[in-house]
């Protein structure tokens, strides 16, 4: 289960509820999990 939060126009934070990890994308477009939202 994911929790979505709007940050600003065109930006979205996606966080896994069970793991508390954020879903992130690097400059190459690869997805990864992170404990911080940067």
Q: For the chain, count helices (H), then strands (E).
A: 0, 4
Phi, psi of 27 (to 5 degrees): -65, -20
Check if the beta carbon of residue 6 is closer than 8 Å to that of residue 23.
Answer: no
Model pTM score: 0.78
Taking the chain (38 residues) in consecutive chunks of 10 residues, what is each chunk's mean pLDDT? 94 95 95 91
For residue 38, what pLDDT is reported? Answer: 72
What pLDDT is stored for residue 37 in this prediction?
Answer: 82
């Amino acid at each position: 289960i994911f929790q979505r939060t709007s940050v600003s126009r065109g930006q979205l934070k996606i966080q896994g509820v069970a793991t508390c990890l954020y879903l992130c994308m690097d400059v190459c477009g690869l997805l990864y999990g992170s404990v911080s939202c940067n």
